[in-house]
Amino acid sequence: MKVAVVGATGLVGSKMLQVLAERDFPVTELIPVASEKSVGKEVVFKGKPYKVVNADTAISMKPNVAIFSAGGSTSLEWAPKFAAAGITVIDNSSAWRMDPTKKLVVPEVNAHALTPEDKIIANPNCSTIQMVLVLEPLHKKYGIQRVVVSTYQSVTGTGVKAVDQLMNERKGVDGPKAYAHQIDLNVIPQIDVFLDNGYTKEEMKMVKETVKIMGDENVKVTATTVRIPVMGGHSESVNIQFAKDFDLAEVRSLLAAAPGLVVTDDPANGIYPMPKDAHDKDDVFVGRIRRDESQANTLNLWIVADNLRKGAATNAVQIAEYLSKKNWL
Q: Tens digits of per-residue pLDDT, 94-139?
A: 999 999 999 999 999 999 999 999 999 999 999 999 999 999 999 9
| pLDDT bracket for residue 30 (50, 70, 90) | very high
Distance CA 162, CA 183 (A): 9
Query: How much is the mean pLDDT over the chain?
Result: 97
What is the structure's pLDDT at 162?
Answer: 97
Domains of the chain, first to last: 2-123+312-325 (3.40.50.720), 127-307 (3.30.360.10)
pLDDT of 309 reads 96
Q: Could you list the residues known to form a binding site for NADP(+), using ranges.
A: 9-12, 37-38, 307
* Average confidence (pLDDT) over 7-33: 96
Annotated binding site for substrate: 153, 227
Cite the annotated binding site by residue number.
9-12, 37-38, 97, 153, 227, 307
pLDDT at 169: 98
The answer to whether residue 234 is catalytic is yes
CA distance 283 to 137: 16
Give catalytic status of residue 139 as yes or no.
no
pLDDT at 289: 98
Of 112, 126, 139, 181, catalytic = 126
Give the pLDDT score at 154.
98
Count CB neighbours of 181 within 10 A.
10
User: What's the confidence (pLDDT) of residue 144?
Assistant: 98
Residues above pLDDT 70, as percent of the chain: 100
Integer Cα distance of 325 and 88 in angstroms: 14
pLDDT of residue 248: 98
Binding site membership for phosphate: which residues? 97
Residues 6+ apart with CB under 8 A from 70: 6, 7, 10, 13, 33, 34, 35, 93
List, for residues 185-243, the tens digit of each pLDDT value.
999 999 999 999 999 999 999 999 999 999 999 999 999 999 999 999 999 999 999 99
Set 112, 139, 181, 234: catalytic member = 234
Burial class of 297 by CB neighbour count within 10 A (0 to 12, 13 to 18, 19+): middle
